[in-house]
């Protein structure tokens, strides 16, 4: 769905609009490369063989908790043209995060509304994509992520186990 902002169409967020992505939860994340180009390596004999770009994507994923104290990680895999991972966002109270509020009017409420909120999943993913892009561009200036990412809110232990198995088995089931 598209809406107008400053007389230009923009895509609406694909996030669940009734869910607070900074309140805590488990999320299954998929981030794809632009045009599904296999920048990260290839699958040989049912195993992922990472390129230098793939190693960067891998390393930066595991650095996320160092930069975001409210994040912990579960299963993760780098595939030729995408990554899958489980991100766990701790609730702000669990990590002692205080969110400041301002008594001043927001100069542009619409931009504030559509921008990623501090402590949110979107902030974490934006940071990850940015760090990977900056470093992969040193190797391959053509690298680009798909502008969006897919998230699924994990609501049960059974679902968590199913998604873990999917991630672990992803290279084995790869058709390419």
User: What percentage of the chain exceeds 90 in pLDDT?
Assistant: 67
A 10 A CB-CB count for 66 gives 8
Each residue's pLDDT tens digit, 93-114: 444 444 444 444 455 555 445 4
User: What percentage of the chain exceeds 70 in pLDDT?
Assistant: 72
| pTM of model > 0.75 | yes
Q: Which residues pair with 83 in a beta bridge?
A: 31, 78
State the Rg of the chain over Cα.
18
Domains and CATH numbers, the chain: 22-91+117-169 (3.30.70.1290)
Query: What's the whole-number mean pLDDT along residues 42-70?
Result: 96
**Residue 20 above 80 pLDDT?**
no
CB 149 within 8 A of CB 125: yes
A 10 A CB-CB count for 5 gives 11
């Amino acid at each position: 769905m598209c809406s107008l902002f400053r007389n230009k169409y923009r895509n609406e967020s694909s996030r669940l609009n009734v869910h607070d992505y900074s309140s805590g939860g488990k999320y299954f994340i998929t981030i794809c490369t632009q045009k599904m180009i296999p920048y990260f390596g290839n699958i040989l004999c049912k195993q992922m063989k990472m390129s230098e770009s793939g190693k960067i994507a891998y390393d930066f994923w595991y650095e996320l908790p160092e930069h975001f104290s409210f994040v912990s990680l579960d299963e993760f895999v780098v595939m030729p043209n995408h990554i899958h991972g489980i991100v766990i966002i701790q609730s702000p109270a669990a990590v002692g995060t205080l969110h400041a509020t301002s008594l001043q009017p927001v100069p542009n409420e619409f931009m504030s509304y559509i921008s990623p909120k501090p402590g949110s999943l979107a902030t974490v993913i934006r940071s990850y994509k940015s760090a990977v892009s900056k470093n992969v561009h040193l190797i391959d200036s053509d690298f680009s992520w798909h502008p969006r990412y897919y998230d699924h809110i994990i609501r049960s232990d059974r679902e968590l186990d199913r998604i873990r198995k999917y991630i672990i088995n992803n290279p084995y089931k790869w058709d390419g």
